[in-house]
Chain A
Amino acid sequence: MSRARTRVDGPAKVAGVARYAADHPGPDLRHLALVTATVPAATISTVDTTAASAAPGVVAVLTHENAPRLAPPVGAPYGGRLPLQDNEVHYDGEPVAVVVADTLDHARAAADLVRVDYEVRAAITDFTAVTDLVVPSPPPRWGPADTNVGTPEPAEVTLARVYTTAARHHSPLEPSATHAEWRDGRLFVRDATQGVFGVRTVLSSVLGLPREDIRVVAEYTGGGFGAKGYVWPHQIIAAMTAVHLGGAVRLVLTRAQSFTSHGYQPPTRQRITVAAHRTGRIAALEHDSVSPTATYGGYVEMAANATRVLYAAPAIRTSHRIAPVNTILPTPMRAPHEGPGAFATESLMDELAHELGVDPLWLRLRNHADVDPTSGLPFAAKDLRACYREGARRFGWERRPLAPRSVRDGHDLVGWGMASAVMATFRFPASARVRLRVDGTVVVEAGCQEIGTGTYTILPQVAADVLGCPADQVTLRLGDTDLPETGMTAGSSTTLSVGSAISAAATTLTAQLAELAGADAVSLTGTTLELDGDPDRVVDLADLFAEHDLVEVTADGSFTPTDTGHSLHSFGAVFAEVAVDEDFGTCRVRRLVAVYNAGRIINPLTARGQMTGGLIWGIGQALLEQSTLDHELGRFVSKDLAGYLVATQADVGELEVAFVGEHDPHSGAIGARGIGELGAVGVAPAIANAVFHATGKRIRSLPITPENLL
């Protein structure tokens, strides 16, 4: 059942009483400040901590010379590079020391007094200058590096283009923070994370502590977008310092440090070719993407994944190569893979439509993929055609003049563009527990996270649906390694994966209750159970529990992703209207209409927020966001929110979002698929295509800035 429900954690958040990782005081709390490398590749010759150690309030200064030794990490996809273990620097911003002091100001002042001398080595930060490209090995988690299916048909039109996207930073408003306490041989961590279990696994391995002696908690995480998915050096440093010194420590990254501490979305250079018949039918697609990785680890931005599934081409060839550079390891960022990739695929489709003189939407329908063209598998509950149809209707697409530069409004050139959205469905194993108490309250337990997606609100709705009770009767406990284990809250996976586990647990619970009550089925209302759907057959929980000498009934459930023989993707269609000031080249998005096909929507209210948020991420990707590397210094420039531009309130025009399609029986147990990442896909090409329609200029490099359009 789909029901709009306001956020249960809303009242706490709007009143400022929801506590995040850095919001927990303590009588013996000590503050950490990182000293980070200012060069991209070097050997540390000396570290002088004399002045820092003598500064007011300083308790300790740890460097590679005196920090505790760490064991090899398990489950650490950030490249496995451990902090403060050797004298090597692999990227600007790598931690080289940590200061422990009584106050934050003292820690930061002392950090400034640590003197580090480097023997600087030659570094490369420009991935386009790397000549020895690497074939990803082992194969990336998100699919093979290369695919090649079918035989190209002879074609009348061939377009070969290069598209590029910029390096971007996740920039959640909450800077990463880790609060670690070592007491009585146990480690307690409050972390700004998208996955408490991943944090525990890594800390357990590097610190040599049994998992049961580590508890990681995150009741609220102030946005992640991928930055808080994996475990990064700062989390290890905080935990290591707490164990080393005892008591409680807190490490909060500065905004500048957040640009070099937990990955970034790598820039991409994508060569893409389409061959087509004059009839509009695609004869072949090729998509080759290159992106940087770190010198010490591999991350692949799977930009060509979109081309693997979007259109029914008789031949599709794709490849991904990576270029090692001296930066921190890139990492997934909303929306990974298809986000940068669809810019190329969907811009090229617009170019082809223009070349053929046909409507871009018609061209997409002409080449609609009824089955996954690379795997040959049927799609799970795909209804992209309905997205196109409904989006076009809401947008008024049929009124679009075909020729560019057709519409003018004062100083503005107005253009309309559209693009498809596609996102692979990520699923993780998950477990959950559902408890029913005698007073009728239902407690759902699952160690996933609330990062803004509405977990506290949505998952109780899943349990309530099964139990038959109102969602308000159900509360969720999450973000704690003492609770049943789940995957990280990332890749739009939580509602689907954890929801499926909760559904299983709740189903088991109802079966148990039915058995206790001697019925075939039960439905919970307040403190009573209705038996077999008969309003006249009601049993009071108090009586039932007393009869069986119970204080509560508990059931566990789990979800294991299985191969159902389907290609699991969500789809959408995005329509954009832009206004480009002809004098200044400034582009504003007047309106976006987006229609999505993403399975069952549990909570339309929070789902709308996910999609409008994704659309605004797309506006940022299209027009604003880029982290520029100064290759001479080997550093990102403007590590702040004045230089790294994310959309403000004023950058947002009218947004309209709708969903089509219903239950997906293949992806999980509750009919849902992921949505949050999907919303950020297809927006940039829709905007770029609208810019072309407005101005006649085809911009193949993101973001589109005024100097491109003057």
Chain B
Amino acid sequence: MTEQATENRTAIPVTARVSLRVNGVEHHLVVEPRMTLLDALREVIGLTGTKKGCDRGECGACTVHVDGRRVNACLTLAVMQDGHDVTTVEGLGTPENPHPVQRAFVANDALQCGFCTPGQVMAAAACIAEGNATAPHRIREWMSGNLCRCAAYPQIIAAIQEAAQADPVDPAHAR
């Protein structure tokens, strides 16, 4: 499609009803089709733990789990996830009751400014569940979709190794 197709666009955006199960809670939204899952989580549902770093799938800060798989929430539309099960960082654990990955990130100083951290944590939890958190070189490759500009990378590897030992592969999550 070139930009000549402009006249085919609808003038008034249509809206769609979407049901998302987020962190175990059912949400019924009315959104425009162009709204990403990321914006739906942040702006409509109010879960701002998931971060927007690039809005183009190039940084991983918006990583969430959809039906147990890690995905970039900026690369999929909210309407496309109708009826699906979404887990955000808020659903993984809390400051008072952290997930083993979250605990290991703090213990190993695997964060600095913290902006990429929710995405790192969600990717790390998936990486462990997938069975990819084995040798350091394998974790490095399977965590390379999450940029950390502060570059806490070595500490992130250490945290994932520690969490992987504390939390062996969950067959229900492994795919």
Contacts and interface: CB of A to CB of B under 8 A. Distances in A.
Interface of A: 6-7, 9-20, 22-23, 25, 56, 103-105, 109, 171-175, 220-225, 252, 254-255, 450-454, 605-606, 608-609, 612-617, 640-642, 646-650, 652, 655
Given A609-B155, A613-B151, A173 B13 contact: no
Given A14-B102, A606-B109, A647 B114 contact: no
A17 B92 CA distance: 12
A104 B43 contact: yes
Interface in B52-78: 52-56, 58-59, 61
B116 interface: yes
A485 to B, nearest CB: 23
A437 B46 CA distance: 36
A7 B150 contact: no
B100 to A, nearest CB: 11
A446 B149 CA distance: 26
B95 A15 contact: yes
B144 A640 contact: no
B150 A13 contact: no
A103 B43 contact: yes
Contacts of A617: 151
Closest A-B pairs by Cβ, 3 of them: A16-B49, A222-B115, A452-B113
Contacts of A25: 43, 46, 48
Pick the most buried of B49, B141, B150: most chain A CB atoms within 10 A of its CB.
B150
Nearest to A31: B43
A224 B112 CA distance: 11
Given A104-B43, A105-B32, A608-B109, A20 B115 contact: yes
B29 interface: no
Contact of A10 (B35, B52, B106): B106
A460 B12 CA distance: 54
B54 A648 contact: no
B83 to A, nearest CB: 22
Contacts, number: 185
B94 interface: yes
Given A6-B109, A173-B59, A175-B53, A650 B151 contact: no
Interface of B: 12-13, 32, 34-35, 39, 42-43, 46-56, 58-59, 61, 88-90, 92-95, 98, 101-102, 105-107, 109, 111-118, 121, 139-141, 143-144, 146-157
Given A56-B13, A175-B53, A10 B113 contact: no
A12 B95 contact: yes
B144 A16 contact: no
Contact of A255 (B35, B54, B98): B54
A327 B55 CA distance: 25
A11 B88 CA distance: 16
Contacts of B89: 14-16
A220 B150 CA distance: 14
Pick the most buried of A15, A25, A613, A650: most chain B CB atoms within 10 A of its CB.
A15
A12 B51 CA distance: 14
20 contacts: A6-B106, A13-B114, A14-B98, A16-B121, A25-B46, A105-B39, A173-B61, A173-B147, A174-B113, A220-B113, A222-B114, A252-B52, A255-B53, A452-B114, A642-B58, A647-B151, A649-B141, A650-B140, A650-B141, A652-B154
Contacts of A20: 51, 115
Contacts of A220: 113-115
Pick the most buried of A224, A254, A453, A652: most chain B CB atoms within 10 A of its CB.
A652
A10 B105 CA distance: 8
B12 A56 contact: yes
Contacts of B153: 612, 616, 647, 649, 652
Contact of B54 (A13, A452, A616, A641): A641
Nearest to B114: A13
Given A16-B47, A173-B147, A650-B144, 6 more contacts: A7-B106, A14-B118, A16-B89, A225-B149, A609-B155, A640-B58
Nearest to A617: B151
A641 B59 contact: yes
A222 B94 CA distance: 20
A100 B3 CA distance: 25
A12 B112 CA distance: 12
Given A19-B48, A642-B56, A648-B144, A13 B151 contact: no
Given A11-B95, A15-B102, A174 B144 contact: no
A174 B53 contact: yes
B82 to A, nearest CB: 18
Given A11-B95, A105-B35, A452-B150, A609 B112 contact: yes
B147 A612 contact: no
A652 B141 CA distance: 10
Pick the most buried of A175, A222, A640: most chain B CB atoms within 10 A of its CB.
A222
Contact of A649 (B48, B52, B112, B146): B146
Pick the most buried of B42, B93, B111, B141: most chain A CB atoms within 10 A of its CB.
B111
A172 B115 contact: yes
A447 to B, nearest CB: 18
A15 B90 contact: yes
A252 B115 CA distance: 15
